[in-house]
Amino acid sequence: MPALRFGITAVFLYDRLRMLSRWRSYLEEATGARVEFIQRGVYSPIIDGLRAGQIDFAWICGYPYVLHAREFRLIAVPVWRGQPLYQSFLIVGAGSNATGLADLQGRSFAFSDPLSNSGYLYIRYLLAQQKWRVEDYFRRSFFAHSHPNVVEAVAEGLAEGGAVDGYVWEVLADVRPALTARTRVLQRSPDFGFPPIVAAAHVDAATRERMQRALLAMHTAAEGRAVLDELRLDRLDAGTPRLFDSIQRMAAAVG
Q: Estimate to the nearest angstrom the gap between the alpha carbon of 175 and the chain centroid.
A: 18
What dihedral do alpha carbons 145, 151, 154, 155 form, nearest 10°?
Answer: -140
Q: Could you say which architecture CATH assigns to the domain 88-190?
A: 3-Layer(aba) Sandwich (3.40)
- Residue 62 · residue 75 · CB < 8 Å: no
Predicted pLDDT at 19? 87
Confidence of residue 15 (pLDDT cuts 50, 70, 90): low
**Helix, coil or strand: residue 47:** helix
Domain limits of the chain?
4-80+194-244, 88-190
Tell whether the model's pLDDT for residue 34 goes beyond 70.
Answer: yes
Q: What is the pTM of this model?
A: 0.94
In terms of Cα–Cα distance, which of 192, 144, 184 is closest to 167?
192
Give the integer Cα–Cα distance in Å for 72 and 115.
15
DSSP 3-state assignment of 152? Answer: helix
CATH architecture group of domain 4-80+194-244: 3-Layer(aba) Sandwich (3.40)
DSSP one-letter string for 77-120:
EEEBTTBSEE-EEEEEETT----SGGGGTTSEEEES-TT-IIII
Which is it for the CA torsion 193, 195, 196, 202, positive or negative? positive
* Residue 127 pLDDT greater than 60, yes or no: yes
Q: What is the pLDDT of residues 164-185, one digit of tens each?
A: 999 999 999 998 999 999 999 9
Q: If you average pLDDT over residues 223-244, what whole number do you get?
A: 96
Identify the band that residue 11 occupies on the pLDDT scale cut at 50, 70 and 90.
low
Mean pLDDT of 54-80: 97
- Which residue did the predictor score with more confidence, 18 or 69? 69
DSSP state of 23: H
